[in-house]
Amino acid sequence: MLHPMTNCRDMSTWVSRSMDLRLSWGQRLAVRMHLMMCRHCRRLYEQLLSLRGFAQHEEADPSDDPARLSEDARGRIKSALFDHCDPSTT
């Protein structure tokens, strides 16, 4: 059974694991209690969650000009797609 007093090094693996699967009730409780007691691990957890946010972020930077694909590029890409289109799959 995972103990809240498990050291931070090992707890970091559980913190990461909790982001990938549903831990058992006991494990969740142990991780949560450890995070309540340990501000370093709490910060680690927040930062690992932020990494996920960064990876999922999909807007281009708002400060940028609203750049658009040129007509040229648009045509080129369309014809490339057309060339690779397998009619049997559509």
Partner 1 sequence: MTTKQDRLPDDPAAWVDLYGDSLFRFALARVNDPAAAEDLVQETLLAALKNRSRYEGRAAVKTWLMAILKHKIVDHYRKNTRERPIESMDTDSDAFNARFNARGSWRQPPAKWAASPQKTVESKAFMDAFYQCLAGLPERLARVFRLREIDGIKGKQLCEEMQITPTNSWVMLHRARMRLRECLETNWFEAN
Cα separations in angstroms, 29 against 9, 14, 20, 45? 18, 12, 16, 15
Q: Which is nearer to partner 1, 33 or 85 (CB)?
A: 85
* Minimum CB distance to partner 1, residue 48 (Å): 5
Identity (one letter) of the amino acid at 31?
V
Q: Is 84 in the site for partner 1 (CB under 8 A)?
A: yes
Q: What does the binding site for partner 1 look like in residue numbers (CB under 8 A)?
A: 7-10, 12-13, 16-17, 19-21, 40-41, 43-44, 47-48, 50-64, 66-70, 73-74, 76-78, 80-82, 84-85, 89-90
